[in-house]
Chains A and B, each alone.
Chain A
């Protein structure tokens, strides 16, 4: 039994991008705030903070999830992947490179969430149809692009990952 009394902080160790991160959180601290403020990983963006916009999407054990709708104290048993975990040194992840080349980013506030959703989709389905891409990314909102360039970017990423890029 673990108990964290109201108004107190506790130390939790999260596994983020393959590395342990020990940070101090309140019970009410969500995973997004823990990543941003505790671990300094500010690539995960917070838009609506109630699960609608998708900007805070991270991978939890490889599956896309809202980091604003998970408590940090409840996330310790999972492997978390954030946008910072995609690139290999200075080498962009194929999803990052493809979406960059397809001009999928405009103001880019939503981009980390889109890329995490896209990584999860392409991991599961290497050859998605446009309908599948649209459906799988329907939980991410973009207020700039009108989505066309984002969908093209994910198609391009799929091609690169299949070795056709």
Chain B
């Protein structure tokens, strides 16, 4: 479990980091928390020949900022710091709900929110939360800055829209509406393990009617998976137990889940339906709506 050798760079500015990425392209990886990258390097699943350590760029990348436009989280914000930050609790309730489910505490001490997004693991919580909240990913390179919508950012297993010369500098979550309820629920074999199936769920209720809904599953495919048919079944309806049960039925009959050592596809589909029910009830109860 020792990683192969690499040349280590610890730039003192963000521009310095971007110049290194421009020079080394796909031979370089960014090191932030290292909680996913270093195990992959130890297992030789990743063999970058250049590692660009952005720890030390706190002044530019370690920030949580909330305003009328929403919540911004910089590339060096650790899970543990976001988990206990009042602005995240107030302006990003779904993020706050997801964070305690990310790994185990020692992982959250070092791991970063943005790193988890850049890693793009479909079984992780943060990518699903980004899709469910219509987050924007801000990628910086020596050539400039791009803003990428979460909806199309996750392209495949550990594959994202990030280019080799880009640093994922921050994630922006739109302002959280008081009419929105959110929940993140999952089933894992042990607390802190990757979920067999999880759900990031958002429901907007206006005047007693569901105006919009997002049901984004994690752990079931190569990317976070939206079940639009179930979302559609909710829109324009009044929240009710029967409505949520029907959405769960649609999920468990249409979701394309895989089988592996940990769970069969049939079990994952069943659990996804149960989580749909549970997540919708939790999300609506957070805004004082009872089904």
Could you tell me which A residues sit within 8 Å of B by CB distance?
Answer: 1-7, 26-28, 30, 33, 48-51, 54, 57, 60, 63-66, 68-71, 73-74, 77, 117, 120, 134-136, 138-139
Asked if A63 and B34 sit within 8 Å, CB to CB, the answer is no
Contact with A63, one of B3, B109, B190 (Cβ below 8 angstroms): B109
Question: In the complex, given contacts A63-B109, A74-B34, A138-B191, what are 19 additional A-B residue pairs having Cβ atoms less than 8 angstroms apart?
Answer: A1-B9, A1-B12, A3-B8, A4-B7, A4-B8, A28-B5, A48-B1, A49-B1, A51-B38, A51-B107, A54-B106, A57-B106, A60-B110, A63-B106, A68-B38, A74-B10, A74-B31, A117-B106, A138-B190
Q: List 28 A-B contacts (CB under 8 A).
A: A2-B8, A3-B9, A6-B6, A6-B49, A26-B5, A27-B7, A27-B8, A28-B2, A28-B4, A28-B5, A33-B2, A50-B43, A51-B39, A65-B106, A66-B106, A68-B1, A68-B42, A69-B34, A70-B38, A73-B8, A73-B10, A73-B53, A74-B10, A120-B105, A138-B190, A139-B103, A139-B105, A139-B192
Contacts of B39 in A (CB 8 A): 50-51, 69
Residues of B within 8 Å of A, CB-based: how many? 37
A56 to chain B, nearest CB (A): 9
B55 contacts the other chain (Cβ, under 8 Å)? yes
Bound-complex Cα distance A138 to B3 (A)? 26
* SS of A interface (majority): mixed
Cα–Cα, bound, A50→B38 (Å): 8
CA distance A157 to B62 in the complex (A): 35
Which residues of B does A touch, CB under 8 Å?
1-12, 16, 31, 34-35, 38-39, 41-43, 49, 51, 53, 55-56, 80, 103-107, 109-110, 190-192
Contact B38 A71 (CB under 8 A): yes
Pick the contact of A64 from B2, B51, B105 — CB < 8 Å?
B105
Q: Are B190 and A69 in contact (CB under 8 A)?
A: no
> Known: A1-B16, A27-B51. Contact between A136 and B105, CB under 8 A?
yes
Complex Cα spacing A135 to B53, Å: 31
Nearest chain A residue, comparing its CB with the CB of B39: A50
B31:A117 contact, CB within 8 angstroms:
no
Chain A residues whose C-beta falls within 8 Å of the C-beta of B7 in the assembled complex: 3-6, 27
Please indicate which of the listed interface residues A6, A57, A66, A120 has the most CB atoms of chain B within 10 Å of its own CB: A66
Inside 8 A of B105's CB, which chain A residues have their CB? 64, 117, 120, 136, 139
